[in-house]
Amino acid sequence: MNTFDAQAVWPRLSAELRAEIDDLVVARRNIQAIVAFRDRSGIEPRPGIANAAELLQYRLDALLGQEGA
């Protein structure tokens, strides 16, 4: 059972980390974005790669939605 909720986790991250992740997602540097999230989120236990990928997809969807607005 996956209890990870990217939408709930996102606002709990620092503004600096959110900006970095968004920049990396836009640049399609997904591995670096996953590493940044996992290493610096402060979430315990440390999020898995699948959770990080879910967060990146959430952000990509949100960022693409902004472009279309």
Residue 63 CA to residue 48 CA, distance in Å, equals 23
Residue 66's pLDDT is what? 74
| Residue 32 pLDDT level (bands cut at 50, 70, 90) | very high
- Segment 36-58 shows an average pLDDT of 96
How confident is the model over 3-30, as pLDDT tens digits? 899 999 999 999 999 999 999 999 999 9
Instruction: Classify residue 21 as exposed, middle or buried by CB count within 10 Å of its CB (0-12, 13-18, 19+).
Output: buried
